[in-house]
Chains A and B, each alone.
Chain A
Amino acid sequence: MKLLLAFSRKGKTDPGREPVIARVVKETGVLINVEKANIDSMAGEMLIDVPDKDADLVRRRLEEMAVTVRVMENAVVRDEEECVDCGACISVCPQEVFSFDEDWRLRVNSERCVLCGKCIRACPHGALSQQG
């Protein structure tokens, strides 16, 4: 399951300066896969992947450390009405989420999506959006 973490780096309880991920891994023993991280001086955002059965535990522990946790139910979603199966999204995706099937229909393997947003901007038909 993918979790989107957000933390502010202002104020006293600044998880941005704490090794939160390392600490959670150490304490819970759950292996966390960091798929995307974006941290600057004011705030941080991180997308992590954890085994479904451990998601609750990891989530609780992170929240105790003042991290806002959002469960990403869906990765990128495609509106089938709008999509014309052009394939413009295929080569811009760093995660190879998109491909064609034998009938040149777009196949979406959204499990691998890291929500970088590239395909959303590249789709000429506004068929892709981020849901979560």
Chain B
Amino acid sequence: MEKSLDLINARIRDGTARVVTAEEMPGIVDELGEEGALAEVDVVTTGTFGAMCSTGAFFNFGHADPPIRMERVWLNDVEAYAGIAAVDAYLGATQEAESKDSLYGGAHVLEELVAGGTVELRATSRGTDCYPRRSITTELLLEDMNQAVMVNPRNAFQRYNAASNATDRTLSTYMGTLLPRCGNVSYSGAGTLSPLANDPGFRVIGSGVPIFLAGGEGMIVGEGTQHSAGGGFGNLMVSGDMKQMRQEFLRAAVMNGYGVTMYVGVGIPIPVLDTGIVRSTAVRDEDILTDIIDFGTPRRDRPSLAKVSYADLKSGSVEIGGETVRTSSLSSYRRARAVATELKDWIERGKMELALPTRRIDPAKRARPMRETAVTPRVRDIMNRQVISITEDEEIRVAAKRLLKDETNHLPVLDGSGALVGIITTYDVSKAVVTDGKLQQVKDIMTRKVIKTTPDEPVDIAARKLEQNNISALPVVDATNRVVGILSAIDLGKLFGGRRRR
């Protein structure tokens, strides 16, 4: 049996359509079987509510008198992109205010507008014959704008990697606070309720399909930027009228140490046309797998620590390497449910009819990493290969002489076999002097926990290590822990200085 969209829409119009949420669907399919569920259910509603950095809106402010061709635009001190005609601007959620003390950004402005608050518009221009005005400041409400169209370049990812951190310091990331030594796991996404998890083949989710966006009616524009459904990371570009939106489903947020983002509620109704769709909407948390990625690796390709399902993640703890680790979500399942439930209500009441995609989204497409034409400099390109070192049982006096003679501030300390075991600085030596000769050997004063780098580490990462640990040099070691060079803040200074000059 198959069902046509026209039949489903006719039922929506006369109020007889059977609408269920994606959370209810697996149970119904279990009970009635696939054919039975197809006969019974007309629409499955999905929902998600989580951090979607890729959020923003186009505004048209109307013309002032005398008119101005706005070249730079700020809303509550957050700059919006104004390179689009005279009185239009696009405000992105993650853009941060220029002068506020606490973190305040585009997301806060968007929320303020939806909540009915006023925002200050400030704009400047060089002035033209047709638009003579050079600056303007005014207070605006959302209703004062001609249009306020939210357009989010990539929302509602099919799934998200979960995050943990194997290093020994706390990390602040877009996945929230990650405790050291895999102390927690942070995940995002609504699992069984997640829109794209219910139609991973993009059969009925595509351009032109009506959706729930932040409390208002929106629609899918098409594939999102960086859409990569072939690898399980499909996403959507969506759009909607901000004037219909509600604060409950549009919330500014600040990820500590990372920046401003926006929580957005997105829900997509799925017409149950055939058993294929019955099957895809019967997806459970158990069926949706994701990787726990080590965010401690500051590279694009981060290692996976474990493969888990959303059922595991939602249970409150998962196993990583035999240890139980607590999980927490960044997205709100409770509010995802509220999205799916409200969308269900809209359709039951005939407020929204469904449509099939006017253009399909490619379910096999994969996003590529950036093509980098300039080679990222590696530590080996700028490290100093003339390493002055010392062995651990040498006397401190010898270390002092060596530091003086070679005008260096750091001496890597080696053991008998030549492997790196510590580091000493001029400061350590002077400290030893004030202890009245109680400490004799290098190994008594050296720092044993050496922060180090490797020849092929990108320079930016080494620079961050220096900065974070407040140190001025890093020994460079090979795979066998032998010192092959030393990288100092001065070497880095030359590089970055050089870069800026170019």
A124 touches B255 (CB 8 A): yes
Within 8 A of A (CB), among B179-199: 179, 183-186
Which of B325-333, B350-358, B489-497 faces chain A? B325-333
Q: Which of B51, B334, B335 has the most chain A CB atoms closer than 10 A to its own CB?
A: B334
B326 touches A91 (CB 8 A): yes
Could you tell me if B186 and A88 are in contact, using CB atoms closer than 8 angstroms?
Answer: yes
User: CA separation between A92 and B186, bound complex, in Å?
Assistant: 10
Minimal Cβ-Cβ distance residue in B for A85: B334
State whether the Cβ of A75 lies closer than 8 Å to any Cβ in chain B: no
* Pairwise interchain contact A125-B251, C-beta atoms closer than 8 A: yes
Task: List residues 83-114 of chain A with CB under 8 A from any CB of chain B.
Answer: 84-92, 99-100, 103-105
Once A85-B332, A85-B335, A105-B334 are accepted as A-B contacts, the answer to whether A91 and B254 lie under 8 Å apart by CB is no
1/0 contact string of B195-219 vs chain A (CB within 8 Å): 0000000000000000000000000
B330 to chain A, nearest CB (A): 5
Give the size range of B's interface with the partner.
20 to 34
- Determine whether the beta carbon of A91 is less than 8 Å from that of B332: no
Cβ of A121 within 8 Å of any chain B Cβ, yes or no, is yes
Pairwise interchain contact B333-A104, C-beta atoms closer than 8 A: yes
Q: A91-B185, A124-B253 are in contact. Are A86 and B330 (CB under 8 A)?
A: yes
A86: nearest residue on chain B (CB-CB)?
B332
* Interface flag for A118 (CB, 8 Å): yes
A126 interface residue per 8 A CB criterion? yes
Contact B255 A91, beta carbon cutoff 8 Å: no
When distances are taken between beta carbons in the complex, the residues of chain B under 8 Å from A92 are 176-177, 179, 184, 328
Q: Is B137 an interface residue (CB 8 A)?
A: no
Determine the chain A residues whose CB is within 8 A of the CB of B329 once the complex forms: 86-88
Decide if A122 is an interface residue (CB 8 Å cutoff): yes
The reply to whether A121 and B256 form a contact with Cβ atoms under 8 Å apart is yes
CB-CB under 8 A from B186, the residues of chain A are: 88, 91
Confirm or deny: B233 has a beta carbon within 8 angstroms of a beta carbon on chain A. no
Given known contacts A91-B185, A103-B334, A104-B337, A84 and B261 CB-to-CB distance under 8 angstroms: no
A41 to B203 alpha-carbon distance, docked (Å): 67
**A124 and B254 in contact, given A91-B184, A91-B328 (Cβ under 8 angstroms):** yes
Chain B contacts for A100, CB-based, 8 A: 316
* Residues of chain A within 8 A of B316, CB atoms compared: 90, 99-100
Q: Mark B142-177, 1 if CB is under 8 A from A, else 0.
A: 000000000000000000000000000000000011
**Residue B49 interfacial (CB < 8 Å):** yes
A99: chain B residues at CB < 8 Å are 316
Given A85-B334, A92-B179, is A125 in contact with B328 using a C-beta cutoff of 8 Å? no
Asked whether A88 lies within 8 Å of B330 as measured between CB atoms, the reply is yes
Q: Give Cα A98 to B281, complex, Å.
A: 32
B58 within 8 A of A: no
Any A CB within 8 A of the CB of B263? yes
Closest to B255 in A: A124
Q: Is the CB of B335 within 8 A of A124?
A: no
Q: Given A86-B332, A91-B185, are A122 and B251 also a contact pair (CB < 8 Å)?
A: no
Closest to A124 in B: B253
- Kindly provide the distance from the CB of A103 to the nearest chain B CB, expressed in whole angstroms: 7
Residue pair B335, A87 in contact (C-beta under 8 Å): no
Shortest beta-carbon distance from A60 to chain B in Å? 39
Given known contacts A88-B329, A90-B328, A91-B326, A124 and B176 CB-to-CB distance under 8 angstroms: yes
List residues of chain A with CB within 8 A of the CB of B185: 91
Contacts A84-B49, A91-B184, A92-B184 given; does A122 touch B332 at CB 8 Å = no
Contacting residue for B176 out of A85, A103, A104, A122, CB 8 A: A122
What residues on B are CB-neighbors of A87 within 8 Å?
A: 328-330, 332-333
Over the window 250-262 of chain B, the binary record of Cβ atoms lying under 8 Å from chain A Cβ atoms (1 yes, 0 no) is: 0101111000010
A84 B335 Cβ-Cβ under 8 A: yes
Nearest B residue to A84 via CB reads B332
> What chain A residues lie within 8 Å of B255 (beta carbons)?
124
* Option from A103, A105, A124, A126 in Cβ contact (under 8 Å) with B330: A124
Between-chain CB contacts (< 8 Å), 27 pairs:
A84-B251, A85-B332, A85-B335, A86-B332, A87-B330, A88-B177, A88-B186, A88-B330, A90-B326, A91-B186, A91-B328, A92-B176, A92-B177, A92-B179, A92-B184, A92-B328, A100-B316, A103-B334, A104-B332, A105-B334, A118-B177, A121-B256, A122-B176, A122-B256, A124-B51, A124-B176, A124-B256
Closest 6 CB pairs of A and B: A91-B184, A124-B253, A91-B328, A90-B328, A104-B334, A122-B177
List 17 additional contacts besides A99-B316, A124-B254; criterion CB under 8 Å. Answer: A84-B263, A84-B334, A85-B332, A86-B331, A87-B328, A87-B329, A88-B329, A89-B328, A92-B179, A100-B316, A103-B334, A105-B334, A124-B253, A124-B255, A124-B263, A124-B330, A125-B263
